[in-house]
Amino acid sequence: MAACRESPASSTADAAARAALPDARAWGALFAEPALQAGQAQLLNQLARPRRLSAGEMVFRQGEPASALVALVQGDAALGRLDAQAQFRTERHLRGPAWLDASAAWLGGRHAHDARALAAITVVEFDAEALGKAMEHTPALARQFVRVLAGEVRALTRHAQALMHLDAPARWAGWLLAHCQDVPDAPQRGLVQLALRKRDIASQLAITPETLSRLMRSFSAQGVIEVSGYTVHVLDRTRLAALAAG
Amino acid sequence: MAACRESPASSTADAAARAALPDARAWGALFAEPALQAGQAQLLNQLARPRRLSAGEMVFRQGEPASALVALVQGDAALGRLDAQAQFRTERHLRGPAWLDASAAWLGGRHAHDARALAAITVVEFDAEALGKAMEHTPALARQFVRVLAGEVRALTRHAQALMHLDAPARWAGWLLAHCQDVPDAPQRGLVQLALRKRDIASQLAITPETLSRLMRSFSAQGVIEVSGYTVHVLDRTRLAALAAG
DNA sequence: CGCAACATTGAGGGCCCTCAAGAGGTGTGG
DNA sequence: CCACACCTCTTGAGGGCCCTCAATGTTGCG
């Protein structure tokens, strides 16, 4: 960072902007499977408008007109909603690189959530109009966005189905399985390091912190997990999976 | 239909297939706002594989590999899930023209729902691979699909938010408002003709038929609606909107 | 009519929320 | 060092919402 100072002072702002742009790894995470070609990444870099935000700032507000797609390049952010008491209720926690809103701008619509920086983050915005024009010359880019949106549809469909058909214990079991890391030589075991406040995890599961606390106690009593602070040891993945099935 | 018989017998099958394809109005409903150009519709027609199904047949099953997008051209169908007792639980009711699954095939994934024909319907399938190739020559087509998927994301987001934050009365009030037809010279009033069994409407709202019945009674008692059979008279849209807000 | 499917109504109960109090941890200031 | 404020998490008590189960009413059809 501080190493490269060759450019004249007038372009240090440009250099800072470039530094805020996603690198190859970030582009790879924003788009899936058939990776973005170098040329496509370059094209996107030209359209990208970087923004830096510090912890606690709002990236956008629910209801604001959305003329640009918004991607989180690096850092942690939350999608959710400010309630009446100006308390932020997290609905989804995102760790960059990830899309904060890849859909509203295509319809000339409005953002569906409040988005809030949980730490110092960098975000890039892509004007939907400009992106649409670019897609005309670079059809592969269009397929990338189709895939991004299709992935979002899949995730949201699963989320809605979970809310409709699964009770709180099943959702919590599913969350644990999804965040479970393998333990060497112990296929039934697993490790989950909680990176969020428990109340935020509860928020994601659409339950109250009290209920989550009781669930942890209940699962522990059943011998399925062991909790100490922000570390959860999964003792029996099979039974956890059975709980997750409802 | 029976009128045009000019073509030789060998091509009557082709004629039938063409008849099953979406017309301009149907294409307009499948894609939004900036309407599909004639050339694009023609291109899609070439890729479309029509299927006819009769009432009760399954269009696709949850978990089946999805290699093609599926659109409902005409008729009624339901997205939902067959439960353990082989009972179909409707999650969403669709009236053609509409997309049954516009996302799974893009990811080489699997259908997220069971889809069931509620009447005699015609469906068209588009191979995602072929569609992707077509998009390379016709970028405008790509933008259309981006818009379709963005619309789906918006609808699903709203649905998930409703399930999380709104109770049963609010969801039912919202459903009524969404399906409410205007009554001449009476801006506060409205008319809703229930086109589905009440249990299917309840299913969409993620409540039981009993609860829906009690809600109708409760709203009637409050003087907000009047119910007789499958006809609902909305008496006070303002208060209904207040109920829908939670 | 008899039957089947749907809708309604009531009784009872489970799940999860709300409210309230207490425990444990951390940073600040005296 | 302790006192204090503040935050999070935990634990308990109570209650509301909505589900389940069961009985009854209604409608349509053979």
DSSP code at position B43: H
Give residue-wise pLDDT tens across range B125-136. 999 999 999 998
Q: Give the position of tokens 């952010």.
A: A77
A92-96, B6-10, B19-23: segment of lowest average pLDDT: B6-10
Q: What is the residue-averaged pLDDT of chain B?
A: 90
Query: Which three-class secondary structure state does DSSP give residue A57?
Result: coil
Residue type, A198: K
Query: Which three-class secondary structure state does DSSP give residue B31?
Result: coil
* Residues from chain A contacting residue B149 (CB–CB below 8 Å): 103, 146, 149-150, 152-153
CATH number 3.40.640.10 is the correct assignment for the domain at B8-163: no
Helices B128-137 and B139-165: angle between axes, nearest 10 degrees: 130
Query: What's the pLDDT at B4?
Result: 43
Whether any strand D atom is under 7 angstroms from the Cβ of B17: the reply reads no
Strand-by-strand arrangement of the A121-127 sheet: A49-53, A121-127, A68-74, A98-101
* Report field, pTM of the whole predicted structure over 0.75: yes
Query: What's the pLDDT at A6?
Result: 42
- Residue B65 tokens read as 């590999």
- Residue A36 tokens read as 């973005």
A241: CB partners within 8 A, 6+ apart:
A173, A177
Q: How far apart are CA B53 and CA B50, in angstroms?
A: 10
- Residue B181 tokens read as 């037809």
- Residue A230 tokens read as 């922000």
Residue type, A53: L
Question: Alpha helix (H) ranges present in chain B?
Answer: 12-20, 24-30, 38-47, 128-137, 139-165, 168-178, 198-204, 209-221, 237-244
Architecture of the domain whose range is A166-244: Orthogonal Bundle (1.10)
B34: CB partners within 8 A, 6+ apart:
none
Rg (CA), chain B: 21
Name the residue in chain B with its Cα closest to that of A132: B143
Q: How far apart are CA A187 and CA B197, in angstroms?
A: 48
Whether any strand C atom is under 7 angstroms from the Cβ of B213: the reply reads yes
Give residue-wise pLDDT tens across range B63-115. 999 999 999 999 999 999 887 777 888 999 999 799 999 999 999 999 999 99
pLDDT band (50, 70, 90) for residue B185? very high
Residue type, A96: G
**Quick check: A52 and A122 in contact, CB under 8 A?**
yes
Q: Mean pLDDT per segment of 10 residues, for chain A of length 246 residues?
A: 43 57 85 80 92 92 96 94 81 92 96 94 96 90 94 96 96 97 95 95 96 97 96 97 94
Q: Counting every residue, how long is chain B?
A: 246
Start-to-end CA span in chain B (Å): 50
Name the residue in chain B with its Cα closest to that of A142: B142
Give residue-wise pLDDT tens across range B161-182. 999 999 999 999 999 999 999 9
B110: CB partners within 8 A, 6+ apart:
B62, B63, B64, B65, B66, B104
Residues from A contacting B (CB-CB < 8 Å) are: 32, 81, 91, 102-104, 106-107, 109, 112-113, 132, 135-137, 139-140, 142-143, 145-147, 149-154, 156-161, 163-165, 206
Where are chain A's structural domains? 8-163, 166-244
Chain centre distance of CA A5:
34
Give residue-wise pLDDT tens across range A46-87. 999 999 999 889 999 999 999 999 999 999 999 998 877 778
Whether any strand C atom is under 7 angstroms from the Cβ of A207: the reply reads yes
* Residues from chain A contacting residue B103 (CB–CB below 8 Å): 149-150, 153-154
The CA angle B170-B176-B177, to the nearest 5 degrees, is: 90
Q: How far apart are CA A174 and CA A193, in angstroms?
A: 15
Query: What's the pLDDT at A2?
Result: 40
